Amino acid sequence: MSKDALPQSSQYPQTTEAKTSLPIERYDGSATLYDYLADGLESIFEQGDKLRFSKFGTQSAYLPSWATVMQLLGWTNPSLKMLSFIEGHTGVPLKVSRTARYDLFTQKGVAERAGFEVFNWMTTAADPFFKQSCSKLQLDMDRASKVGSNAGDWLSGVAGYKAKAKLEHNDDYFELVPLIKFLEKRCREDVSFLELAKKQIKQQQLDTNNPSMAWQLQLPLWNTSSLVDETILNDFSSHFKKIASKETYSNTQKLSFISCYLPIYFDFYFGAFASFEVGCVLYYRDEHESLESKKGILNRAITSYSTTPKVKSCLEALLDEIRDVIPNQERKMTWTDLAAFIPVNVDESELEYSATKLKRKKVDRLKAWRNKKDLPTNDLLRRFLGNIYESIGEQGSSALGDLFVIATGIDRQVTYLSKQAEREGISKGEIESEVRAVLTTYNKYYQHSLKQYL
């Protein structure tokens, strides 16, 4: 099996850059962070350079980059989405063109006028953050940057959300506590491990060209801090030794390797998804006594998809759950009933589109969703759920929309893995069977997270 055939921790190409245009990694705390960055930005423009935001991301199964996770969840340009997210949650508009926004995240960059506009917007939107002591966060981000960890983006995002929630006295913060604690723990562990690895490389105790040696160094971390079974980790170690010796793999051996890799790949995602779901369950449910026996809606959907062959996708399983729980229904909704809530744009030339044709179009759209042939965008999903809530006279829950985004993210990843496996001579049925087997372990992550808060 070739090196290129190995499953990667991300299917999306990333650029790894240890340095940024603003020399934030050399901030020593002697001035305010605001003044330090402003002086650095002015120096950049004096040298005739432009402002650009570096893309930092390393391939890591233990702590994938923020951009990797966002793309898996359906955000095609997560950096631009983040700008819109900050605008919406702070009420502070960024007054630069759409072209300038895009150029910020490319090598093209933006010149002085747009650059200072972006900088002033960032500091205004993050005013509560700059008023607080940033020394600990900056120290943590500095450690992450020096060893090439993805922790920096996660830690800055968590810190920003905490500052905003504290300023606004936002009770919704509590539903994210399990997820935040999970991310902070992963970040600490990832940075500590990479510091150890860097030290061993410097002492010539670790050969970076030897994947088996690198995995053996990381193995204790997986044994103590993940929920992947020890037998799977040991089997994965055996595969690494064979790969290092450039042994040719048969299809059976490739499938064996994938069956070991998938639990490792999904460990972070299951931990994060379960932490988020448990936070939602604790926040929205009053009867905490029954939580261990009554699973959350995403957990039920994943269990259904992973154990029921006729269920074609995680999204279909979650939609089926919705059909059961929508209130004010004398009977369970049919798929046709549910399809009626799908937003469909009708061109002006089709104003007389017959009700029958429109109904058929929506039913076909829902069928494509269920079969993973045409997964909906996140925006379309939220509009769909909004229509359901409106029909029953209730205010929508953003948390339910997030759970649907997770379900489609899982389906998107299953589709990707199937295509990768087919290129290696493994059938779609074989890889989907392996993925379903791994998905059955999601409940273990859910129960693990739940027990920490009951």
**Domains in the chain, number:** 1
Flag whether 359 is in a domain.
yes
d(CA 172, CA 227) in angstroms, rounded, equals 28
| 90 in Cβ contact with 425 (< 8 Å) | no
Q: Counting beta carbons within 10 angstroms of the beta carbon of residue 410, is it exposed (0 to 12), middle (13 to 18) or buried (19 or more)?
A: buried
d(CA 293, CA 232) in angstroms, rounded, equals 28
What pLDDT is stored for residue 244 in this prediction? 67
Flag whether 341 is in a domain.
yes
The encoded tokens of residue 238 equal 């055996």
| 67 in Cβ contact with 55 (< 8 Å) | yes
CA nearest 296: which of 304, 58, 21? 304
Q: Counting beta carbons within 10 angstroms of the beta carbon of residue 429, is it exposed (0 to 12), middle (13 to 18) or buried (19 or more)?
A: exposed
Per the confidence metrics, is the pTM higher than 0.85? no
Domain residues for the domain of 441 are 298-446
Please identify which residue in the block is written with the tokens 């179009």. Answer: 361
What pLDDT is stored for residue 3 in this prediction? 42
Flag whether 397 is in a domain.
yes
* pLDDT 10s digits, 209-257: 777 888 889 999 999 999 999 999 999 988 877 776 777 788 888 889 8
Flag whether 48 is in a domain.
no
Flag whether 310 is in a domain.
yes
For the chain, which residues score pLDDT lower than 70?
1-43, 45-46, 53-57, 77-78, 85, 89, 126-135, 164, 167-173, 244, 286-290, 327-329, 346-353, 396
Q: Which residues pair with 51 in a beta bridge?
A: 110
Residue 452 CB partners (closer than 8 Å, separation 6+) = 178
Flag whether 152 is in a domain.
no
What pLDDT is stored for residue 241 in this prediction? 77
CA atoms within 13 A on the CB side of 154: 25
Average pLDDT, the chain: 80
| 51 in Cβ contact with 118 (< 8 Å) | yes
Flag whether 357 is in a domain.
yes
What pLDDT is stored for residue 15 in this prediction? 33
Flag whether 422 is in a domain.
yes
